[in-house]
Copies of this chain bind each other. A is one copy, B any other.
C-alpha cells in the first residue's frame, strides 16, 4: 500500500440532470441522467490516485444505507482502492445536485451528515495507527463530521509522525487553525472554496498571503499552498515563496474538483521522488489541466506534464 487516504466525512455524490426542474411539480430523472459516485475530498484523492496506478487504503467514518451504497460504488471504482472505514450508526452524507441544462440552475440538496461518538473516534484512532505503519504517505482531506473535534488532523498527524510518514492536508481554516496546535503536516494546502479566512482573518494584499505562507513554514510545514483569487496560488517552502499563475484562460465553471486533483498530483510527484516546489508545480499543473475541460475525470499524467508548460511561476520572496 502506498497511501493512506483519510476521509473522515465521506459523501455519496448524486447528480440528476432534470431539464425545466420545477418547484411544486412532479419531476422525472431519466435513468441515464441519474448518477451516483463516491465522494468526499479524501475519497476523491484516492480515486484520482488509482487512475495513476497508486494503491491507497481509504479510511474514515461510514454508516447507514448511504454508507453501504458509497462503499459498493467505491469498491467498483478500482482494485487499487481498499477500504477500512469504521462503521457508525448514523447515515453517511448524501449530496444531491440537480442540474437543469435549460434554465442553467444547479439546485443542491445535502443531508446534514452523521454524528460520530467518542467511542467511534477512539476505535478509529486505533485502526488508523495500525494502518499508518503500512504506507509511505498519509493524505487527510476534507470536512469532519459532527462530534469530531477540529483538532483531529493534528492528532492523526502526530501519530503519522511517530512512524516518519509524509503527511498532506487539504482542509478549511477551522480545522487547520485547531490542528496545527498539535502537529504540522509536511504539505499544507488551504481549502478556501467557502471562506477566504486564514487563521481566522481575511487577508487581502498579496503581502499578507506571502507572510502567512512564510509563517506556516516557520512553524513546521515543509510546503504551503494558499490559493489566491481562486486561480492563483502562493506557494512557500523553506527556500522562499512563489506565486503560481496559469498561462491559459481558466473557465471557472470547470474548477470543480481541481483542489483534489492538485493534492493527488502532489502525492504522485512525491512518491516519484519529486520534492518541495516541484511537487507543487506538478499539483498546480494538474489543477490547471483539470480546469481546461468539464466533468469530474482527472487529467492523465501526460496532460499534467503538458500543462507544466502552461503555468508561470514567479518568485516573490
Contacts and interface: CB of A to CB of B under 8 A. Distances in A.
Interface of A: 16, 18, 21-31, 34, 36, 65, 68-69, 72-73, 90-91, 98, 100, 103, 105-113
B68 A110 contact: no
Contact of A23 (B21, B34, B110, B113): B21
B24 A106 contact: yes
Contacts of A31: 90-91, 111-113
A29 B34 CA distance: 20
A105 B23 CA distance: 7
A111 B25 contact: no
Given A31-B91, A90-B31, A91-B31, A108 B26 contact: yes
A114 to B, nearest CB: 8
Contacts of A22: 107
A315 B21 CA distance: 47
Contacts of A91: 31, 34
Given A21-B23, A105-B23, A110 B72 contact: no
A27 B30 CA distance: 22
A110 B36 contact: no
A314 to B, nearest CB: 36
